Homo-oligomer: A and B are copies of this chain.
Amino acid sequence: MDNKKFKELDAIFNPRSIAVIGASKDRGRAGSAYFLGILESGFKGKLYPVNNSCEEVFGVKAYCSLGDIPGPVDNVIVIVPKAGVLKVLDECGRKKVRLVQLFTAGYSEISGEEGKKEERQLAQKAGKWGFRLVGPNCVGVSRPAINLPLGPESILVAPGSAGFVSQSGSLSLRVAHLGDLSGVGFSKLVSFGNGCDLDSLDFLGYLLDDPETKTVSTYLEGSHDGTRLLELFKTGSRKKPIIVWKGGTTAAGARTASSHTGSMAGTADVWGTALKQAGVIQVNGLEEMVDLLLGFQVLGRLPGDRVTILSGFSNGGGGESVVAADVCTSAGLKVPPLTPETRRLLGDTLGVVGSILHNPVDVSQAHGDPERVNRAVELAAADPNIDVVIFEAVLDFLCSWLSPEKFKELFDRLINLKGKTNKPFVAVLPAGRLQRERDELVKRLLSAGIPVYPNLERAALMLKRMNWYQGFCNAGCVFSKSNLPGWSGIPS
């Protein structure tokens, strides 16, 4: 992306002031929700409500029009009936704003060609006055680092290194929400709706150059310029991991996409092959997307795809071990036998009766003893056949028979051990009744550079995909040469 355009887009995420046109004090409406969300989120810049009644909004002096605001306005969020939009855009132009974010809907997503024509008028206004436009039919842009929340739902997530762009507002909110619950921090989140001015190409191009963004992700229904998009992916995937979740891949989905953003979705096969060749990691859903964002954020690069799984942390691990081997192998990971030397040492630690030591390793014979369990993890991690260490524990079981002190010691030792090995650790902690205990442990593990997943299937798929991207990168990527500042550790 050329420097001028980069600066133009970068400015969008650095507003010194924001005006909300259509800000009302009528709770439950988008106009009040947007305004209140920014007001309460701790956004450091100036915030101005604008509405017809010229009345104070939640204790903040309101203006009758944009022109009445005394200082400069960088970003404008427009929530007005469609009939008033063109007039508002002229006001924005006269005020010399940088960005207009248009929540108002009812364009090409419902009326096809007629809507497209109207959208061209919107874009012409932007061109004429020299501002950029996000929307219409969008929830807009968010930048957690400056406390700028996303959409009328006003989701403010932790700042971090994941960038996300989408036509869809609802899925931007879902990615932000699930990402935040999972420990993903975001650099920028964008929903650009019908994209009559700025669209996928612009925002993806920006995120690929943005130093704050280390992993680029997008939900995509279609593109008006698939060729340029694929070119962008092809160059971009050599710089940063790009994760694409393609919607409208089935007939019913494509029919719905056409009513949604007016996009022609294209077939799954064509997109799938093209994306793969471009070095893009394709996912098929919300959880898969977020799981991969977490993996890249916390683990950075993987040394390989040979995993060991330690089962039986919380109860007998026999069946769990069999299933763990099946799950990881089916996902495409390697589950090699540990060396005879490792198995001998594991036998010394765990005993032989009832023990499964080949890989997976069933540590249940240590009965949760923090020292013996961690000795087993250490041995498995040190095995030359192994690249990644996975352990699984059901806290509802573990806490039912381990004292709080032993429970703490178990994971203290594990975190300490992680600090001394250069191999990635991945935790699988299924949800249960002890939600508070789980939340606390997840935070501790994330801080120690151990990502946490709710089941082994999701952890394995994440690892497989990260490893696929690395294979692609071996031909030479910035990713594979960098020392990955910001790719590791928790959200800043």
Contact = CB atoms under 8 A, between A and B. Distances in A.
A146 interface: no
Contact of A105 (B167, B353, B430): B353
Interface in A141-196: 151, 153-154, 166-174, 177-178, 181
A455 interface: yes
Interface string A333-369: 0010100000000000000111111111000100100
A256 B153 CA distance: 48
Interface string A412-440: 00000000000000000011110100000
Given A137-B354, A177-B432, A325-B255, A171 B250 contact: no
Contacts of A257: 322
Contact of A171 (B256, B320, B357, B430): B320
Per assembly, the copies of the chain total 2
Contacts of A470: none
A247 B326 contact: yes
Nearest to A251: B329
A480 interface: no
Interface in A311-334: 311-312, 315-330
A326 B249 contact: yes
A475 interface: no
Contacts of A178: 430
A356 B260 CA distance: 7
Contacts of A174: 319-320, 394
B354 A106 contact: yes
Contact of A253 (B326, B355, B431): B326
A74 interface: no
Interface residues of A, number: 86
A65 interface: no
A457 B458 CA distance: 13
B169 A401 contact: no
A260 B321 contact: yes
A317 B317 CA distance: 42
A400 B153 contact: yes
A335 B171 contact: no
Contacts of A248: 322, 325-326
A352 to B, nearest CB: 6
B328 A252 contact: yes
A221 interface: yes
Interface string A252-264: 1101110111000
A262 B413 CA distance: 33
Nearest to A406: B28
A109 B166 CA distance: 52
A327 to B, nearest CB: 7
Contact of A169 (B110, B319, B352): B319
B367 A28 contact: yes
A97 interface: no
A250 B329 CA distance: 7
B110 A256 contact: no
Contacts of A28: 367, 401
B320 A170 contact: yes
A376 B157 CA distance: 32
A287 interface: yes
A151 B319 CA distance: 15
A464 to B, nearest CB: 14
B177 A322 contact: no
Interface of A: 28, 33, 82, 105-106, 109-110, 137, 139, 151, 153-154, 166-174, 177-178, 181, 219, 221, 247-253, 255-257, 259-261, 284-287, 311-312, 315-330, 335, 337, 352-360, 364, 367, 394, 396-397, 400-401, 430-433, 435, 455, 457
Q: Which 10 A-B pairs have the closest CB atoms?
A: A168-B319, A253-B326, A171-B319, A250-B329, A252-B325, A252-B335, A253-B325, A106-B353, A105-B354, A170-B316
12 contacts: A110-B352, A153-B400, A168-B320, A169-B316, A170-B320, A247-B323, A247-B326, A252-B328, A256-B321, A256-B324, A286-B455, A431-B431
Given A253-B325, A285-B457, A287-B457, 11 more contacts: A105-B354, A154-B400, A166-B319, A169-B318, A170-B311, A170-B317, A249-B326, A256-B356, A257-B322, A259-B358, A260-B321
